[in-house]
Amino acid sequence: MAWPLRNAAFSPGLPAKSVPGTSSSPILEIVDVTLQYKTPVSVVTATLGVTVRVRRGERTMLLGPSGCGKSTLLKAVGGFIRPVAGHILVRGQPVVRPGPDRMMVFQEFDQLLPWKTVKQNILFPLQISGQLTSSEAEERALAYIEKVNLTKFRDAYPHTLSGGMKQRVAIARALAMEPEILLMDEPFAALDALTRRRMQEELLELWDQIRCTMIFVTHSIEEAILVGSRTVVLSPHPGRVRAELNCRQFGFHNQDSPEFSDLRHRINAMLFGGRGREGTATNA
């Protein structure tokens, strides 16, 4: 299938506010969405009546305990799962299938094609889309390889790269398609703490350059506050929206501030009540 590659309204390099034709209307609307898995013996309700609206250029974090339906919600935005109730709209159009306007990055390191080099992995979806000449695709791939600081490794195969480098390739591959929305499913969860921190910083630097709309699933309270401009807190299974919190003012520069700490405690209390666990929402 030939997918349109570029969308007229999104152009990396331009701050979101200066993109022509954008307004305060949401780019993504998730309205009263219930998602279920049906097996021959049971029905599992993953999310129940979830409503989230996302504006262009926002970094929206989906935060909640394991099993509350974060990944399922992301897959539904990706067009891999259809709601049993409610609807999901991108630029006012219902999401009915996956498309290049919504590219996904996963947690797993094996999401790259092992028989292709870094450059070939990034080129592959560009070539399949059929919208660019081979020299344009090559130029685009190299530009995004540079953005994730992997120019020296462009001819390396995935098995020779560290976990963090593989995730950079996956991010570059998704961004090279210049999607309307970047969907990230716990992309740094399998990394060691130091690499995770560096990747979070790099992602924010990259976002500063391209200002893409991002939906990011995490079960780390700290990651949500640091990386997000807004955090949607979901309740335990089945996931419902418990709160939407503005995180715009927080970042690495003020993570030791009392305000940062207050927000962390507030979210912790929402997720765990008085039970005192803090940091990740894994076992609530």
Q: Which residues are near ligand ADP by CB under 6 A?
A: 37, 39, 44, 46, 64, 66-72, 237
Q: How far is the CB of 37 from ligand ADP (least distance, A)?
A: 3
Strand partners, 85: 34
Neighbours of 282 (CB within 10 A): 12
Place of tokens 């498309």: 99
Q: Which is nearer to ligand ADP, 72 or 200 (CB)?
A: 72
Q: How far is the CB of 213 from ligand ADP (least distance, A)?
A: 20
Q: Which is nearer to ligand ADP, 71 or 117 (CB)?
A: 71
Q: How far is the CB of 65 from ligand ADP (least distance, A)?
A: 7
CB 263 within 8 A of CB 271: no
Residues 6+ apart with CB under 8 A from 85: 32, 33, 34, 49
Rounded to whole angstroms, the Cα distance separating 39 from 63 reads 26
Residues written for the chain: 284
Q: How far is the CB of 168 from ligand ADP (least distance, A)?
A: 23
Q: Which is nearer to ligand ADP, 78 or 125 (CB)?
A: 78
CB 227 within 8 A of CB 189: no
CB 98 within 8 A of CB 180: no
Q: How far is the CB of 47 from ligand ADP (least distance, A)?
A: 8
Q: Which is nearer to ligand ADP, 52 or 68 (CB)?
A: 68
Rounded to whole angstroms, the Cα distance separating 256 from 206 reads 23
Q: Which is nearer to ligand ADP, 147 or 240 (CB)?
A: 240
